[in-house]
């Protein structure tokens, strides 16, 4: 079986390859742009058949070089910087590239799982996978929403092979070291705590108190499990599921909880007792900083995945890791890396 993973040197793509390797799949074409050569570290311990530069891969697809060659596609490649202001760059990377691969997958009858985003919901208070609930706040969210719309048109016209879009909520976990500002809050707070003994959170905004803005935080382990669920369905089962599904835990948690989980996981590894929130604030271990002005009208203060479609139509029945357990797993990996 020949599997293509785009964004292969990225956070989610590399973790998908790791799990594919664990399951005995090594005939993998890893596609990415390694202009940031540090990302190659994410591939160093993985086994693949070939690495292909993203632009070379696009040209090969256009030229028909991969026609009838590929058995499965995990399309994780995208510009994930929600603060990126270059709309032309964003649309080329996230929309046009995705449309090209979708057309190829349908033409060659290749099952296709791709990364959408909870950023498509933007200002909406409703997190159900329908166009009426999608009000993106930035061009990143718009690029993802527009591709979801393209996929919906394919659904209406009739598919030649399964297509699954996954609206990722706030993912945290190992192999995100290269993401800079876009890395998870867990990684930022882990580094702050290790270097300074304290972590910083935004002050309140839009009616939320200090650190009380809430997101649906999902571990990379669970994200990989959801991807593998559809991979198994498309390759081993006669029930070929298609659809656009939320990929979150279904539970919103305040950033205060996330930060405290990170701090206490570090303290546990050091042999110290856990702290409660008020104690962490009183001791200056959690500090609040002014909300950044450049995020004022682009920030989701609340997200919470509605998992009804994932469970009922997507047939996903596994439980998600509790926040504290997922964060502790990640912190232990960071401490031992």
Indicate if the pLDDT at residue 123 is higher than 90.
no
Q: Which two tokens stand for residue 305?
A: 């995945």
Q: Exposure of 162 by Cβ count < 10 A (0-12 exposed, 13-18 middle, 19+ buried)?
A: buried
Residue-level pLDDT at 83: 65
Q: Read off the pLDDT band of 183 (50, 70, 90).
A: very high
Angle at Cα 266 formed by Cα 261 and Cα 268, nearest 5°?
Answer: 90
Q: Read off the pLDDT band of 294 (50, 70, 90).
A: confident
Q: Which residues pair with 286 in a beta bridge?
A: 199
Q: What is d(CA 8, CA 226) in angstroms, rounded to the nearest whole number? A: 17
Q: What is d(CA 113, CA 115) in angstroms, rounded to the nearest whole number? A: 7
Q: What is d(CA 337, CA 335) in angstroms, rounded to the nearest whole number? A: 6
What whole-number percentage of the chain has pLDDT above 90? 89
**How far is CA 181 from each of CA 2, 171, 299, rounded to the nearest angstrom?**
34, 14, 14
Which pTM does this prediction carry?
0.96
> Tell me, what DSSP letter sits at residue 95?
I
Q: What is d(CA 263, CA 103) in angstroms, rounded to the nearest whole number? A: 46
Q: Which two tokens stand for residue 125?
A: 């208070």
**Across all residues in the chain, what is the average pLDDT?**
95
Which residue among 89, 179, 225, 268 is the active-site one? Answer: 179
Q: Is 140 a catalytic residue?
A: yes
Indicate if the pLDDT at residue 310 is higher than 70.
yes
Q: Is 316 a catalytic residue?
A: no
Q: Name the one residue in this structure whose structure tokens are 């609206």.
A: 167
Q: Exposed e or buried b for every residue in 191-217, given b needs 16+ CB within 10 A?
A: ebbeeeebbebbeebeebebbbbbbbb
Q: Read off the pLDDT of each residue in 177-198 and give the average, rounded to a whole number.
A: 95
Which domains, from first to last, does the chain contain? 3-173+218-250+304-320 (3.40.50.720), 179-213+253-295 (no CATH)
Residue-level pLDDT at 158: 96
pLDDT digits (tens, 9 = 90+) for 59-76: 999 999 999 999 999 999
Q: Read off the pLDDT of each residue in 279-295 and give the average, rounded to a whole number.
A: 92
Which residue among 95, 97, 114, 140 is the active-site one? Answer: 140
Indicate if the pLDDT at residue 80 is higher than 90.
no
H or E element at residue 117? strand 112-117
The CB density around residue 232, as the number of other CB atoms within 10 Å, is 11
pLDDT digits (tens, 9 = 90+) for 205-231: 888 999 999 999 999 999 999 999 999
- List of residues 6+ apart from 125 with CB closer than 8 A: 302
Is the separation of the CB atoms in 121 and 145 below 8 Å?
no
Is the separation of the CB atoms in 72 and 231 below 8 Å?
yes
Indicate if the pLDDT at residue 81 is higher than 80.
no
Residue-level pLDDT at 182: 87
Residue-level pLDDT at 197: 97
Q: Which two tokens stand for residue 154?
A: 């394919």
Q: What is d(CA 316, CA 337) in angstroms, rounded to the nearest whole number? A: 32
């Amino acid at each position: 079986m020949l599997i293509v993973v785009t964004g292969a040197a990225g956070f989610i793509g590399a973790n998908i390859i790791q799990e594919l390797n664990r399951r005995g799949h090594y005939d993998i074409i890893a596609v990415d742009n390694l202009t940031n050569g540090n990302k190659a570290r994410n591939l160093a311990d993985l086994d693949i058949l070939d690495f292909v530069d993203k632009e070379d891969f696009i040209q090969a697809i256009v030229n028909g070089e991969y026609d009838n060659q590929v058995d499965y596609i995990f399309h994780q490649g995208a510009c994930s910087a929600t603060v990126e202001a270059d709309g032309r760059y964003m649309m080329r990377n996230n929309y046009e590239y995705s449309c090209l691969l979708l057309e190829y997958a349908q033409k060659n009858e290749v099952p296709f799982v791709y990364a959408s985003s909870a950023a498509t919901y933007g200002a909406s208070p409703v997190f159900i996978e329908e166009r009426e609930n999608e009000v993106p706040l930035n061009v990143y969210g718009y690029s993802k929403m527009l591709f979801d719309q393209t996929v919906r048109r394919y659904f209406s016209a009739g598919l030649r092979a399964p297509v699954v879009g996954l609206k990722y909520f706030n993912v945290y976990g190992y192999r995100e070291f290269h993401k800079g500002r876009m890395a998870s809050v867990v990684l930022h707070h882990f580094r702050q705590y290790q270097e300074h003994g304290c972590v910083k959170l935004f002050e309140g905004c839009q009616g939320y108190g200090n650190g009380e803005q809430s997101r649906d935080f999902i571990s990379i382990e669970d994200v990989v499990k959801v991807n593998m669920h559809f991979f198994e369905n498309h390759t081993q089962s006669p029930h070929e599921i298609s659809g656009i599904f939320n990929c979150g835990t279904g539970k919103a948690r305040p950033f205060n909880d996330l930060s405290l989980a990170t701090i206490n996981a570090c303290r546990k590894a050091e042999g110290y007792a856990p702290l409660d929130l008020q104690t962490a604030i009183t001791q200056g271990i959690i500090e609040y900083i002014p909300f950044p002005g450049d995020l004022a009208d682009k920030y989701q203060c609340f997200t919470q995945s509605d998992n009804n479609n994932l469970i009922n139509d997507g047939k996903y029945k596994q439980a998600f890791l509790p926040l504290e357990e997922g964060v502790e797993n990640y912190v232990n990996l960071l401490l031992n890396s």
